[in-house]
A and B are shown apart, each in its own frame.
Chain A
Amino acid sequence: MPMAADDIETMIREAIPDAEIEITDLAGDGDHYAARVVSESFRGVPRVKQHQAVYAALKGRMGGELHALQLTTAAPE
């Protein structure tokens, strides 16, 4: 079962409340997304840990229902 963009955003926001989240439906099929997550909590944190924080927010859906999520993370400029 694919996930809706809103659900992805809600889950990320619950775990990372200050995040600025931008979800793009890449293929228009509700199954291939790109997400950009910007949060102060990422400052000074290695990329792998930033991505792991987002994956943790998605509670095991990443890699299962959510196969195709292209992820970009950053601290605010």
Chain B
Amino acid sequence: MSDPQSRIDETVKGNDVVLFMKGSPLFPQCGFSSRAVAILEHCGVEFASVDVLQDQEVRQGIKEYSDWPTIPQLYVKGDFVGGSDIMMEMYEAGELQALMQEKGVAATAG
């Protein structure tokens, strides 16, 4: 058994794009998570997701990991990008798509 912080760290570093969310991309369990999924889908990037509702240790641990109190949280190539409000602002400004490109994440649309 490894501690939650190392498990989170492995997930964050082991995936190009990972979204910590409530529910799954098909069945988001909160409006903010749903919005985050929609934004990533519009960007056309493939992403991994972690349902924090399935794991209380991760649900609490991710807030400490990023010093960020809410979920969803988006990580790209190991870096914390932000929550759904930041994702929306960046998406509308074209910055999220630019970030994905800059980081070399393949996008099929955007």
Contacts and interface: CB of A to CB of B under 8 A. Distances in A.
A70 interface: yes
The size class of the interface chain A forms with chain B is 10 to 19
Contact of A52 (B31, B32, B68, B85): B68
Contacts of B85: 51, 70-72
A48 interface: yes
Given A63-B63, A72-B89, A55 B82 contact: no
Given A55-B68, A62-B70, A63-B70, A47 B89 contact: yes
Contact of A48 (B31, B63, B71, B82): B82
A60 interface: yes
Interface of B: 31-32, 63, 67-71, 80-83, 85-86, 89-90
